[in-house]
Amino acid sequence: MIRKRIFDISFSFLFIIIFLWLYLFLGTLIFINDGSPILYRALRKGKNNKIFTCFKFRSMSNHLNPKDRKITYLGNFMRKTNLDEIPQFFNVLIGDMSIVGPRPHDLNEDEFFEKNISNYNDRFELKPGITGYAAVEGNRGGTDIKKITERVKLDKYYIENYSFTLDIKIIFKTIIITISNICNRLF
């Protein structure tokens, strides 16, 4: 796992440096579009059930009343292309997350799934990831019991079969999916 951590630090540091312009560009657009805060901070559960603050670009309007909050046009684009997730590279640098691992869920969802899905807590054997095996296998998004049960099976497969080679395959597949999503939204 030391090799994984060294890779996580190196990859996330390079990503942040290379795409600093993208962080600044998206942050500026969010600020111009809807003011501050630019980042959304959400509590998530990580390795060994440790609670951490997960960073995302804010994709919802900045209304004080939660009933009035809506996904902004920019936020919709960022969500569909996963660009709202790129601040999580800072979570990787901090050590709360990994580049590849089971995707973290909302704490309330964790509590519900822990009670209703056997082996759900196995997901917390590794750090959560910006991307994961379940995500690149098409199992992302929905949070109904059936989808989460399948996601847990895929997460368990990843945990039991972890290798540096598998991580690299997942990263390349993520890059292809992300570029495809961006191109589909732009063109």
Which residues are CB-contacts of 22 (< 8 A; sequence separation ≥ 6)? 83, 86
The pLDDT of residue 65: 60
The pLDDT of residue 34: 86
Q: Residue 44 forms beta bridges with which residues?
A: 52, 106
| Domains of the chain, residue spans | 2-186
- Enter the DSSP assignment of 102: P
**Dihedral, CA atoms, 35, 87, 96, 10, nearest 10 degrees?**
-150
pTM above 0.85, yes or no: yes
The pLDDT of residue 66: 62
For the chain, helix (H) and strand (E) counts, in that order, are 8, 4
- The pLDDT > 70 percentage for the chain reads 95
Task: Round the average pLDDT of the chain to a whole number and report it.
Answer: 90
**Dihedral, CA atoms, 81, 172, 87, 35, nearest 10 degrees?**
-20
Burial of residue 121, with CB atoms counted within 10 A of its CB: 0-12 exposed, 13-18 middle, 19 or more buried:
middle
Q: Which range among 5-19, 59-73, 106-120 has the greatest average pLDDT?
A: 5-19
Beta carbons of 91 and 54 less than 8 angstroms apart: yes
Beta carbons of 180 and 136 less than 8 angstroms apart: no
pLDDT in tens, 7-40: 999 999 999 999 999 999 999 999 998 888 999 9
- Give residue 63's pLDDT band: very low, low, confident or very high (50, 70, 90): low
